[in-house]
Copies of this chain bind each other. A is one copy, B any other.
């Protein structure tokens, strides 16, 4: 019986031509057969969005040994769904999102298209990892993090991840990484979120921006603490969002009508 090479599906939210996803592909080459299905342009902040109001298309960009790259008109989650439905010869062994240009730690996990990719992989029962660099620049320097990307990926391929869990890996912008910390999601908040402009034909328009506030900067077990102290932050994420601690309390509320 032929033994397959591991099959690795990669996507992101910055688009197939972003530097981050191409650095990721280079870093993972040799670990298996890589299929990239990524958005055809930027989809930052796409979260777990799916395209319900229009059809989606995809196109092959290029192909070389053990690597095929496709671009897709849909969201990051559409990319994962469509690749698994249409392109992959079997269920992939790994789904990887990134490398994102920008921080996906703390509450940003809820807005991140990169983590949308990862959560979708996890929902499909596939081990999944998201990598993000805390640097929004198009030409950000990914080099310092690449050995960690390779090592974390190899570890997940060797050991797997428990059902319903995936990894959110964020890396600070620094040349001197101090190592890895396993973290929890930081309690943080966004404020002052809009820039107001004046439309030339009247009325205002608004660009999303905002100020990030860490609500627990002293908590050493959080991902933001790790990032602020030059560590690679690995936050395990689960797709079961149930607030179990609240179940019994709500049962006492007597909400029948």
Chain A residues engaging chain B, CB cutoff 8 angstroms: 42, 44-53, 55-59, 75, 77-78, 81-82, 85-86, 107, 109-111, 113, 116, 119, 123-125, 147-148, 151-152, 155, 159, 161-162, 164-165, 167, 179-180, 182-185, 187, 189-190, 192-194, 196-197, 199, 203-208, 232, 234-247, 249-251, 253, 255-257
| B124 A189 Cβ-Cβ under 8 A | yes
Identify whether the interface residues of A are mostly helix, strand, loop, or mixed.
Answer: mixed
Closest to A210 in B: B81
Chain B contacts of A110 at CB under 8 A?
48, 119, 123, 239, 241
Chain B contacts of A240 at CB under 8 A?
184-185, 187
Whole-angstrom distance between the Cβ of A105 and the nearest chain B Cβ:
11
- A52, A107, A193, A199 — most chain B CB neighbours (10 Å): A52
Chain B contacts of A238 at CB under 8 A?
241-243, 245-246
Between A and B, 16 residue pairs with Cβ closer than 8 Å are A45-B49, A47-B48, A48-B110, A56-B206, A57-B199, A57-B206, A82-B206, A85-B192, A151-B255, A164-B243, A165-B243, A167-B250, A183-B247, A184-B247, A185-B242, A241-B241
